[in-house]
């Protein structure tokens, strides 16, 4: 029985619903944990709207969100300052975590996240090149970030076609590509005017400060295209886990499915970097935490964990220090500790 469950990808907590010729299967534990995470994200959003130097009470927040008569200052802080910022945090954290979950599952490597294998650095280079070298705007900077991520995707794709990239080799090649992209970004910054270089340097750390409705719009439009694509391709994961031969018998073309999923994850990285800069380690840590909670590889659960991690990190970065710090400073510090723990754990189990 256990062998049958392992070969079909069905877990002991799966529930199956049959309606006519269609069959819908879901994991009860995963669905429950994901629902709890969604509630936690909602609570985090409400908390982010209320706390700060100017505190807003529950009744005042309700008045602002429902359009009831309210004080102008309440409306300014909620709608113009805090709501866009926390929505960007949710979108960026969720997008990075979903991309990390896709990379890790496709490559069967716990270190295969956009931060490690060069996609984040490539995306940052594309955005900085457009913003500084070409004098671009917010919109063109977003296009540059996507182009940088896609260029990294193309390079890794070519290397994969030549010799195959699996396991540790993929990580090492990704680190090399990330280093090259980072050095190119540093060169561009060294040639820029001081004010532009200072702004770009803060952005490169990863920051949600000053995020407005323009950033929210870009994120929303991008996610509206990418999220349905991932949902359509999600069923391919179970088939790919069984190998290309078995996947082919199930009607899934392994190469095409992997390419489409990698492309979707790459676009998520470019979108997130364009909105908030190269915020690191959310894509690495969130999928691991989600798998520990759900005992499964759910992308939605990982996205919720990522949104929650970045939202809480931004609250801490904004209010827990004598002066606000970019959220990227906090995530890279926590992420470094997490990476060391992950390397020790995987090294003990001989998987890295």
122 vs 253, higher pLDDT? 122
- Coil/strand/helix, residue 286: helix
Q: In the Cβ-directed half-sphere of 284, how many Cα atoms lie within 13 Å?
A: 28
Residue 157 has pLDDT above 90, yes or no: no
CA distance linking residue 85 with residue 125, whole number of Å: 23
In this predicted structure, the answer to whether residue 242 has a pLDDT above a threshold of 70 is no
**Residue 171 pLDDT more than 80?**
no
Number of helices (H), then strands (E), in the chain: 16, 2
> What is the value of pTM for the model shown?
0.84
Write phi, then psi, for 10 (nearest 5 degrees). Answer: -85, 135
Question: Over pLDDT 70: what percentage of the chain?
Answer: 80
In b/e form, how buried is each residue of 214-231, taking b as 16+ CB within 10 angstroms?
ebbebbeebbeebbeebe
Closest CA to 149 of 174, 186, 183: 174
Q: What letter does residue 79 receive in the DSSP assignment?
A: I
In the prediction, which pLDDT does 1 show?
Answer: 38
From the list 201, 226, 241, 257, the residue with the least C-alpha distance to 149 is 226
pLDDT at 22 over 50: no
Q: Is the pLDDT of residue 16 over 90?
A: no
Query: Cα separation of 126 and 241, whole Å?
Result: 33
Confidence label for 248 from pLDDT (cuts 50, 70 and 90): low
How high is the mean pLDDT of the chain? 81
Integer Cα distance of 225 and 296 in angstroms:
25
**Most confidently predicted of 28-32, 47-51, 72-76:** 47-51
SS3 letters across 230-245: HHHHCHHHHHHHCCHH
Rg of the chain over CA atoms, in angstroms? 21
Task: Please say whether the beta carbons of 198 and 67 come within 8 A.
Answer: no
The reported pLDDT for the residue numbered 9 is 44
Lowest mean pLDDT, pick from 3-17, 83-97, 124-138, 298-312: 3-17
Q: What is the pLDDT of residues 101-139, one digit of tens each?
A: 998 888 777 878 888 888 888 888 988 888 888 877 767
pLDDT over 90 at 307, yes or no? yes
**Once rounded to an integer, what is the mean pLDDT over residues 45-62?**
91
Query: DSSP letters of 293-331?
Result: HHSS--HHHHHHHHHHHHHHHHHHHHHSSSS---HHHHH
pLDDT bucket at 6, cuts 50 / 70 / 90: very low
Structure tokens at 170: 């993929």
Q: What angle do CA 142, 145, 256 make, to 5 degrees?
A: 110
Task: Find the domain containing 329 and state its range.
Answer: 2-348
**CATH number of the domain bearing residue 168:** 1.10.3470.10
Q: Are 206 and 280 in contact (CB under 8 A)?
A: yes
Provide the domain count of the chain: 1
Quick one: tokens of 32? Answer: 């429950």
């Amino acid at each position: 029985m256990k062998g049958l469950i392992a070969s079909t990808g069905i877990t002991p907590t799966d529930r199956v619903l049959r309606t006519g010729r269609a069959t819908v299967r879901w994991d009860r534990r995963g669905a429950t944990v994901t629902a709890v995470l969604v509630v936690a994200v909602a609570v985090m959003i409400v908390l982010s709207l209320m706390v700060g130097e100017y505190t807003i009470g529950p009744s005042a927040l309700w008045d602002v969100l429902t359009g009831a008569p309210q004080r102008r200052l309440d409306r300014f802080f909620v709608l113009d300052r805090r709501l866009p910022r926390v929505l960007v945090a949710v979108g960026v954290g969720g997008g990075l975590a979903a991309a990390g979950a896709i990379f890790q599952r496709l490559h069967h490597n716990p270190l295969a996240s956009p931060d490690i294998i060069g996609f984040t650095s490539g995306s940052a280079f594309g955005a900085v090149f457009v913003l500084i070298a070409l004098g671009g705007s917010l919109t063109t900077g977003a296009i540059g970030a996507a182009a940088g991520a896609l260029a990294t995707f193309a390079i890794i794709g070519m290397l994969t076609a030549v010799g195959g990239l699996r396991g540790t080799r993929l990580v090492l090649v990704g680190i090399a590509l990330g280093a090259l992209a980072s050095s190119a970004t540093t060169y561009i910054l060294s040639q820029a005017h001081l004010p532009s270089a200072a702004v770009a340097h803060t952005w490169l750390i990863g920051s949600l400060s000053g995020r407005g409705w323009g950033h929210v719009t870009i994120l929303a439009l991008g996610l509206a295209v990418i999220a349905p694509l991932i949902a359509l391709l999600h069923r391919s994961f179970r088939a790919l886990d069984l190998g290309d031969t078995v996947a082919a018998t199930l009607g899934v073309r392994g190469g095409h499915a992997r390419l489409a999923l990698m492309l979707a994850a790459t676009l998520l990285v470019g979108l997130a970097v364009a909105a908030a800069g190269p915020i690191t380690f959310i894509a690495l840590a969130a999928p691991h935490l989600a798998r520990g909670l759900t005992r499964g590889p759910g992308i939605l659960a990982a996205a919720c964990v990522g949104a929650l991690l970045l939202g809480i990190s931004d609250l801490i970065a904004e209010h827990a220090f004598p002066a606000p710090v970019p959220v990227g400073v906090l995530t890279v510090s926590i992420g470094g500790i997490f990476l060391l723990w992950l390397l020790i754990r995987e090294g003990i189990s001989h998987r890295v």
